[in-house]
Amino acid sequence: MPPARLSIVIPTCNRAAILQKTLTAYAEQTARAEIREILVVDDGSTDETSEVIPRLANDGVVPVRYLRQANQGQATARNHGIREASGELILLGDDDVIPAPNMVEEHLAWHSRYADPSVAIVGPVFWSPDVNPTPLMEWWGLNGLRFDPPHMKAGHEVSYAAGLFLNTSAKVAFLRANGLFDERFRAYGYEDVELGYRLVKKGLRMIYNPDAVGYHFKRVTFADMCRRVALMATTPSLKIFEGTEAGAHYLEGQARRRGTRRYRMQRLFARMTVPLFAPIKPMLDSRIRFPGFVYAAFLAYYGSLKGKRP
């Protein structure tokens, strides 16, 4: 039997409970024999993460390697895993993205189909059914986070701005030869977009496989969404991003979008109507399904226009 060829890299910090659930799901993969190792990079956790990993590693179903570092951020943690990986393929996941039983099998099958070293495979990330996602979360997943680009079809290339490294596999040699994450990004945000831009310039093609499914085990409220919008506008990572070629390209595109008549009308609509309908704000987290433009208007108003958290 040929040696297992896939290394999985999972950065984590203070999420011992969900990490255990995620690693158990990898141990139950249909193609678990193809998993050479799971490298869990502990970015300075202070919870029981260091105790959870040895217990799972001792099960022996899938080899688990525990790599610990001082808290330096997700970019450094992922690079640590990539440098340590011994497989020819690498799957970059996240500690709260739980793989569907055939997710690894789908990644491997598509790498066999697209054997060129420059091809990476990107799978969708849906909300986990276990968190009972609200209609607002479903809208956010499609129109905010874009974990599952609604316009994408099997075999299409994913934009560098949409190819989030939550469920992405690539050839290790290509990554090591063409660039890893910029370790100046220690705070939240933008390191994935920046790397995607650089790799695409070096010839990377990110191909979308809708059947390589991961499930995001996280419940998100309207207040959480507003905090994320505010965070992305104030995180120290933004200043670093603005100084990169990727940042200039990405922000130029954002500026063009903000200059369109449609964008201006959407903002005007939010500014004029949301205060009138403010009493329905608590209902946004309910099971009531509102039209998408309602969610968009409230998020624009409370997330950025009003400039404060709800």
pLDDT digits over 125-155, tens only?
989 999 999 999 999 886 544 555 567 789 9
Whole-model pTM: value is 0.92
Which pLDDT does position 308 carry in this prediction?
Answer: 43
* Mean pLDDT confidence for 110-115: 96
pLDDT digits over 156-187, tens only?
998 888 777 889 999 999 999 999 999 999 99
Tell me: pLDDT of 80 over 90: yes
Give per-residue burial for 59-97: e unless 16+ CB within 10 Å, then b.
eebbebbbbeeeeebbbbbbbbbbeebebbbbbbbbbbb
> What value does the mean pLDDT of the chain take?
91
- Give ranges for CATH 3.90.550.10 in the chain: 6-216
pLDDT digits over 265-295, tens only?
999 999 999 999 999 999 999 999 999 999 9
Which pLDDT does position 58 carry in this prediction?
Answer: 65
Which pLDDT does position 25 carry in this prediction?
Answer: 96
Residue 150, phi then psi, degrees to nearest 5: -65, -20
Which pLDDT does position 199 carry in this prediction?
Answer: 96
Q: How confident is the model at residue 4 (pLDDT cuts 50, 70, 90)?
A: confident
Tell me: pLDDT of 59 over 50: yes
As a CATH number, domain 6-216 is 3.90.550.10
Rounded Cα distance, 158 and 65, in Å = 31
Which pLDDT does position 169 carry in this prediction?
Answer: 97
Rounded Cα distance, 234 and 231, in Å = 5
Tell me: pLDDT of 310 over 50: no
* Mean pLDDT confidence for 44-67: 85
Which pLDDT does position 13 carry in this prediction?
Answer: 95
Which pLDDT does position 257 carry in this prediction?
Answer: 87
Q: How confident is the model at residue 221 (pLDDT cuts 50, 70, 90)?
A: very high
Closest listed residue to residue 144, CA positions, set 282, 309, 299, 308: 299
- Residues 157 and 208 sit within 8 Å (Cβ to Cβ): yes
Rounded to 10 deg, the angle between the 222-234 and 135-143 helix axes is 30
Tokens found for residue 175: 């990554």
* Mean pLDDT confidence for 248-258: 89
